[in-house]
Amino acid sequence: MLIMKSAVFFLILLVGSSAWAAAKPAGQDDWDQILAAAKKEGKVTVIIPVGREAQDALTEPFQKRYGIQVEFWADRGAGIAPRVSAERGASKYMWDVVVTGTTTGLAALIPMGALDPLEPALVLPDVKDPKLWRGGAFEFADPGRRMLVMTPFQRGTLFVNPNLVKPETFKSYKDLLDPKWKGKMVMDDPRRAGPGQATFTFFYMHPELGPNFIRALGRQELLILRDFAQEVDEVGRGKYPILIGTADANAEERMRQGVPVAIVDPRQLKEGSDVSPANGCVALFNRMPHPNAAKVYINWLLSKEGQTVFARAMGYVSSRLDVPTDHALPWRIPQPGAIKTYTQEAIDVREKLTPLLQEVFGR
């Protein structure tokens, strides 16, 4: 009788343990081990976009949730490759994660051999589930699946001071060629990586614009700047009524601060605008100093929480289908068939675009 009771007790214990194991989320043991190791590492090092919104979104919520410090360096994109190259040349491997645009990755970090495939770092089931992502799959910018596109959205490319010119004035980019706008426009420098270059890549790739439009626009005597805040302020002060190709998230921030700047709705423009993730791509460095903390960070950033925080802060639209879009203007939702200026094809186009821009705007 005692033996029978012991056998029954053992059976109940075995069944109970099996049921608990079955109820335990898949990958939970791996995640617990990674998280414990990450907390021992104590920090993760991340390269992020410039701006207080990006800084806060990509550090504070993660630190609060996991108690792991985020050390960061902010860069607009152009400075990332030279710094990383110099550090690696000195056998210094300083960074775990980079959040930036595809140009930096495709044109510099990937050819440098600095990035690892990202998918092996994905652990959480709700991050790995393809049904939760737009198009039913992750979108990578490269065949090696190293740079993940998180936030493709329709970009704002044309900005005005509404006290001087109504946004509804423009129905086509060709309206910018009107002689009355000569000497009255400012633009972000398209000869370097950034929103100005993306805008002129779009101009070049669009079948109704192309090189001839760029040459004609160059004859309009545009002021070329390299500082997003300065670009918007030039328009806000009324010195220039029109701005081309600045960072639209920066423009939105300045608008909230009361600067008289308006974004021309690309749906009213005949040619529309391009789709880009802006600085909404993420990648993992190889030989990273904090590999476990980097995994925790990547899984958090690609979770619903991380994507919501990041998208809201930047004014972007996440590729995760369960992330709200109520913070973004309706025209930001990607339009079918829109030109993508973040692909390898677009990078290849810049081999022809760069000499054209130097011809039109100088070196």
Q: Is 106 helix (H, G, I), strand (E, B) or coil?
A: helix
Residue 314 in any domain: the answer is yes
User: What length is written for the chain?
Assistant: 363
Judgement on whether residues 141 and 57 belong to the same structural domain of the protein: yes
Judgement on whether residues 208 and 314 belong to the same structural domain of the protein: no
Helices 195-205 and 210-218 pack at an angle, to 10 degrees, of 130
pLDDT of residue 25: 53
pLDDT of residue 7: 44
Q: How many domains does the chain have?
A: 2
Residue 121 in any domain: the answer is yes
Check residue 190 and give left, alpha or beta (phi > 0: left; psi -120 to 50: alpha): alpha
CA 148 to chain centre: 9
pLDDT of residue 336: 85
**Within the chain, which residues score under 70 in pLDDT?**
1-27
Residue 2 in any domain: the answer is no
Tokens coding 318 = 């996440």
Rounded CA-CA distance 14/298 in Å is 36
Judgement on whether residues 354 and 243 belong to the same structural domain of the protein: yes
pLDDT tens digits for range 190-231: 999 889 999 999 999 999 999 999 999 999 999 999 999 999
Please say whether the beta carbons of 149 and 342 come within 8 A. Answer: yes
Quote the pTM value.
0.78
pLDDT of residue 141: 95
Judgement on whether residues 106 and 89 belong to the same structural domain of the protein: yes
CATH code of the domain in which 316 resides: 3.40.190.10
Range of the domain at 248: 156-273+345-361
Judgement on whether residues 193 and 87 belong to the same structural domain of the protein: no
Residue 211 in any domain: the answer is yes
Judgement on whether residues 268 and 285 belong to the same structural domain of the protein: no
Q: Would you call 24 exposed, middle or buried from its count of C-beta atoms within 10 A (0-12, 13-18, 19+)?
A: exposed
Judgement on whether residues 148 and 171 belong to the same structural domain of the protein: no
Residue 249 in any domain: the answer is yes
Judgement on whether residues 350 and 323 belong to the same structural domain of the protein: no
pLDDT of residue 6: 45
Judgement on whether residues 229 and 354 belong to the same structural domain of the protein: yes
Judgement on whether residues 160 and 263 belong to the same structural domain of the protein: yes
Judgement on whether residues 215 and 354 belong to the same structural domain of the protein: yes
Residue 19 in any domain: the answer is no
In angstroms, what is the C-alpha Rg of the chain? 24
Rounded CA-CA distance 343/348 in Å is 9
Sign of CA dihedral 188, 106, 53, 290: negative
Residue 16 in any domain: the answer is no
Residue 106 in any domain: the answer is yes
Judgement on whether residues 163 and 119 belong to the same structural domain of the protein: no
